[in-house]
Amino acid sequence: MNVRQLLDDRLGEAFEQVTKECAPALVSPASRPEYGDYQANGAMAVAKRLKTNPRKLAEDVVGASDLTGIVAETEIAGPGFINLTLSQEFLKGTLARADLVTKVPRRESIVIDYSSPNLAKTLHVGHLRSTIIGDATARTLEILGHNVWRQNHIGDWGTPFGMLVTYLDEQGQSSDDLGNLDHFYALASERFEKDPTFAKAARKFVVDLQSGKEGAITRWKQFIELSTSHMQRIYEQLNISLNPDHTRGESAYNNDLAQVVTDLDEAGLLSLSDGAKCVFLKEFTGKEGKPLPMLVQKSDGGYLYHTTDLAALRYRHKVLNADRILYFTDGRQNLHFRMLFAVAHASEFVPKSTKLEHHPFGKLLDSNGRPFRSRDGSTIPLDHLVEEAFERARAIVQSKNSNLGDREFDEVVRAIAIGAIKYADLSKNRLHDYTFDWDSMLAFEGNTAPYLQYAFARIQSLFSRGNLSSKSYRADIVPENENERNLAIQLCRFQETLELVGREGMPHHLCAYLYELTSRFMRFYETCPVLDAPEKDRKSRLALCARTAKTLETGLNCLGIAVVTRM
Ligand code: ARG
């Protein structure tokens, strides 16, 4: 249940009753315990507009509100804050519900465009953020009950493929070389530059490919298959939920591009500029107020990134029936997406009711604040990064000496390695640049994946010591002391946190939530005996532990991170 929303609705109704207009209650979790559990800030803004006394307005709103069964205490504080403390009964009832997550009442069809690497190059750390953040958002929206369409809009078309396929032909179909595409690309371009016969063959290949010659198409497909299988291996290693069914690359839209240009023309949006076809919209201007074109067809007839994206948008609207379309790319593509969305709406390719959202993210930096690269300045392939994570996690688990069997040892290493890489990225506000640092991401203290995973494992060991199972344990949660209550409240905030992540495409809210949950759990666990507590307390406390474990597991699952029962 979304408690925050419930309070917001109830108070919202009261605001409306008192002021005779729709006024937001603005409920949020209280920032300090002395402000109650939740706090509503709406009275100040409304009172200012209506020129009345905010404290008096807040009092009237509380008087008019129906909070029975939910709130035990309300307090008007400061200039007109409404502090709300949930009732014991309500807490108990909410935590007694078997479902941790309630499906949203309005199921939307949501397209998420993420990962989307260019196949001419190795999947490198530049694509890591899109892959990890997009995947967590997709999983979260899915758990909330939405109909999610993952779209891996890979770059699988264009002139570089002429060179690459020609080189692959020359070398024989060795997929090992393709494991490092950047190296492969470098070798191919060297051949292209130095050998005119090679260059001629590569150019001819591009012409054949673009005119749809069967032989060329087959060879290109082989190349794409080899490199997508490499990509898929990395997804599997990283526990990314993308599979080949989600791949719909640029080439999938080749046959629609001419129509896109024709339709733009028909919509009266097309202009010619130096022989190239483009769209000018008045809201986009460059230096000195000069109108900025969005190029859709070059003078030689070639189409562009924008054109393909317009075709993809139409597909997502028409075929996938999207209510929302989310794109996860780095911030540098901001202008591209602003123009794309504006043109899609102006041309009515996509109705205004379809929400188009670009969710950008900052750069990945090393500890010196420089772009994250290997020592020789080249980009670091993702599989090298994953290997290093495994190595480091292995050393850590070994040092803990926790007598795990081989299989369990490997499972724990994997959970920690992958969890650390993902969580370190996910826990930061994606809009900021993010500094990659092995030591801090693998720490067992602080806002890290191992800290959360460790808490989960501790709860599991508690249950196994009591010969119980945390999965099936049921009892009423009746929080008596402060530490129990703090934990119980935090457990009640899970749903609202997931909904926030889904709305904003910002998984760091969920990380902050899970971190706070774990910290509250640790405080509770250090101060309240569980297995040795008197019968009544024992049951309620075990139920609190079980609920915490389930929430941690579900939350980490939304982030694509595994839990383990022992560490
Ligand atoms: N392939 C692009 C890149 O690597 C990202 C594609 C993002 N999605 C899109 N529909 N434009 O920069």
Alpha-carbon distance 14 to 8, whole Å?
A: 10
Q: pTM of this prediction?
A: 0.94
Distance 359 CA to ligand 1 centre (A): 12
- 388: in domain: no
Q: Residue 44 — pLDDT band, cuts 50, 70, 90? A: very high
Where is average pLDDT lowest: 69-83, 198-212, 238-252, 548-562? 198-212
On whether both 488 and 516 belong to a single domain, the answer is yes
- 371: in domain: no
Determine the average pLDDT of the residues in 303-323. Answer: 97
At 123 the pLDDT is 67
**Residue 420 and residue 385 in contact, taking contact as beta carbons nearer than 8 Å:** no
Domain boundary among 197, 214, 239: 239
Distance 315 CA to ligand 1 centre (A): 16
Which of 421, 501, 458 has the alpha carbon at shortest distance from 110? Answer: 501
On whether both 233 and 258 belong to a single domain, the answer is no
At 400 the pLDDT is 86
Sheet hosting strand 81-86, strand order edge to edge: 27-29, 38-40, 81-86, 71-77
For the chain, give the mean pLDDT. 93
Q: Residue 168 — pLDDT band, cuts 50, 70, 90? A: confident
From 114, 115, 116, mutation site for ligand 1 pocket: most ligand atoms within 8 A of C-beta = 116
Q: What is the pLDDT of residues 94-130, one digit of tens each?
A: 999 989 999 999 999 999 999 999 888 766 676 889 9
Residue 482 has pLDDT above 80, yes or no: yes
CB atoms within 10 A of CB 419: 28
Q: Residue 541 — pLDDT band, cuts 50, 70, 90? A: very high
CB atoms within 10 A of CB 539: 18
For residue 273, what are the β-bridge partners?
276
On whether both 423 and 439 belong to a single domain, the answer is yes
- The angle that helices 482-492 and 88-96 make with each other, rounded to 10 degrees, is 50
Q: In total, how many domains does the chain have?
A: 4
Burial of 442 (0-12, 13-18, 19+ CB in 10 A): buried
Where is average pLDDT lowest: 6-15, 106-115, 152-161, 349-358? 152-161
Distance 142 CA to ligand 1 centre (A): 23
Identify the CATH number of the domain in which residue 78 sits: 3.30.1360.70
At 396 the pLDDT is 93
Q: Please work out whether the CB of residue 158 comes within 6 Å of at least one atom of ligand 1.
A: no
On whether both 333 and 469 belong to a single domain, the answer is no
Determine the average pLDDT of the residues in 47-75. Answer: 94
Distance 133 CA to ligand 1 centre (A): 15
On whether both 337 and 218 belong to a single domain, the answer is no
On whether both 139 and 220 belong to a single domain, the answer is no
Q: Which atom of ligand 1 is nearest to the CA of 327?
A: 8
- 383: in domain: no
Q: Which atom of ligand 1 is nearest to the CA of 340?
A: 11
- 105: in domain: no
Virtual CA dihedral for 543, 547, 549, 551, nearest 10 degrees?
Answer: 180
Q: Residue 175 — pLDDT band, cuts 50, 70, 90? A: low
**Residue 480 and residue 539 in contact, taking contact as beta carbons nearer than 8 Å:** no
Could you list the residue range(s) of the whole structural domain that residue 234 is in?
159-239
On whether both 180 and 35 belong to a single domain, the answer is no
Residue nearest to atom 8 of ligand 1 (CA): 153
Distance 420 CA to ligand 1 centre (A): 26
On whether both 429 and 534 belong to a single domain, the answer is yes
Q: What is the pLDDT of residues 211-254, one digit of tens each?
A: 889 999 998 998 898 888 888 988 999 999 999 999 999 999 99
Alpha-carbon distance 56 to 62, whole Å?
A: 10
On whether both 427 and 463 belong to a single domain, the answer is yes
Residue 177 has pLDDT above 70, yes or no: no
Token pair belonging to 543:
């139920």
- 377: in domain: no
Q: How many residues does the chain have?
A: 567
For residue 151, what are the β-bridge partners?
113
Helix boundaries (H) for 247-381:
257-266, 305-318, 334-346
Please tell me the number of Cα atoms within 13 Å of 291 on its side-chain side.
11
- 392: in domain: no
- 373: in domain: no
- 106: in domain: no
Q: How far is CA 261 from CA 110, 252, 297, 338, 498, in A?
A: 26, 17, 8, 19, 40
Identify the CATH number of the domain in which residue 320 sits: 3.40.50.620
